[in-house]
Amino acid sequence: MARTLVMGVLNVTPDSFSDGGRWVDADAAVARGLALVDQGADIVDVGGESTRPDADRVDAATELRRVLPVVEGLTARGVAVSVDTMRAGVAAAAVDAGATCVNDVSGGLADPAMLGCVAERGVSYIAMHWRGHSRAMAERAVYDDVVAQVCGELGRRRDAALAAGIAPQRLVLDPGIGFAKNADHNWAILRRWDALEELGFPLLLAVSRKRFLGALLASGGTPRPPHERDAATAYLSGHFAARGVWGVRVHDVRASADAVATAGRLGER
């Protein structure tokens, strides 16, 4: 792998925490995806279901209706697309429409058909650490040793993905920053990235605009709003690119693409 990949976030949802409601129209979403590529995205991650804390689930038909035209529109224009979904049916339809990667925040736990579906289609798979749907997330943010437990639980998802027949060279792992984790949990995981590296697979960093950055940058008790968390996000993109992370999933693509390029040049020998 030459360098860290930049995955641009494209949420085709009315309610995602940072870009919800902006790209619900398919043409606008495709245009947004093309703009992300212009800004330096290697992959556009298209999602039709918000996973923010307390979000309600959408039904499969709605999710498919949101995602499919956008995947088709982007892949027709030669854009590499991943589909952000927990549903095997949505993943299958998106792959059939040209998506080359399935990004599953549940790591195969939400839909028992997911791992087999991905294995059968031979596409890449991002398995994230997950402890339950949005409504149950906060109460499950309880750990004795967050680093050891996240690594242990994610290691079991790795094993399940491989056992289902997903090719090792197509598997990426993600600790799921902000998913059933409070700010201290998130920082602990980021500080102990070496423990995740020991799982032996490429890693995705997905911190973009997340709540723990808003808390870090709060002023007078008011969290920094999501779209003003991009400098902190880009710093982490550069930092983890220097560590050789496989990819960074971000909203502000330009800043993180610049950070990744800078880290790459600095790391040359």
CB 49 within 8 A of CB 86: yes
What is the enclosing helix (H) or strand (E) of 260? Answer: helix 253-266
Question: Which tokens hold the place of 52?
Answer: 């923010």
User: Which of 87, 96, 107 is closest to 47 using CA atoms?
Assistant: 87
- Give residue number: closest CB to ligand PMM: 206
Residue owning tokens 């529109």: 73
CB 45 within 8 A of CB 70: no
Measured from the CB atom, is 11 or 256 closer to ligand PMM?
Answer: 11
128 binds ligand PMM (CB under 6 A): yes
Q: Which of 17, 125, 193, 240 binds ligand PMM (CB under 6 A)?
A: 17
Q: Which of 131, 170, 249, 254 is an active site residue?
A: 249
51 binds ligand PMM (CB under 6 A): yes
Q: Which of 84, 111, 230, 252 binds ligand PMM (CB under 6 A)?
A: 84
Catalytic residue at 249? yes
Dist CA 91 CA 104 (whole Å): 9
What are the percentages of helix, strand and coil residues in the chain, rounded to 5? 45, 15, 40
Half-sphere exposure of 154 toward its Cβ, with a 13 Å CA cutoff? 31
Measured from the CB atom, is 92 or 128 closer to ligand PMM?
Answer: 128
Q: Which of 36, 105, 119, 213 binds ligand PMM (CB under 6 A)?
A: 105
Question: Which tokens hold the place of 104?
Answer: 């599953």
Q: Which of 52, 57, 224, 243 binds ligand PMM (CB under 6 A)?
A: 52
Left if phi > 0, otherwise alpha if psi is -120 to 50, otherwise beta: which for 100? Answer: alpha
204 binds ligand PMM (CB under 6 A): yes
Q: Which of 5, 6, 18, 117 binds ligand PMM (CB under 6 A)?
A: 18
- The region of 44-52, 92-100, 115-123, 163-171 touching ligand PMM under the rule CB under 6 A is 44-52
Q: Which of 66, 87, 210, 229 is an active site residue?
A: 210
CB of 139: closest distance to ligand PMM in angstroms? 19
Residues touching ligand PMM, count (CB under 6 A)? 20
Site string for ligand PMM, 134-173 (x = CB under 6 A): ----------------------------------------
DSSP code at position 223: P
Angle 88-96/60-76 helices, nearest 10 degrees? 20
Measured from the CB atom, is 60 or 262 closer to ligand PMM?
Answer: 60
Dist CA 194 CA 203 (whole Å): 11
11 binds ligand PMM (CB under 6 A): yes
Chain centroid to Cα 84, Å, comes to 7
Catalytic residue at 181? no
Site string for ligand PMM, 224-263 (x = CB under 6 A): -------------------------x--------------
How is 3-66 classified by DSSP, letter by letter?
S-EEEEEEE-SS--TTTTTSS-SHHHHHHHHHHHHHTT-SEEEEESS--STTPPPPPHHHHHHH
The binding site for ligand PMM (CB under 6 A) comprises 9, 11, 16-18, 47, 50-52, 84, 103, 105, 126, 128, 174, 176-177, 204, 206, 249
Q: Which residues are catalytic?
A: 210, 249
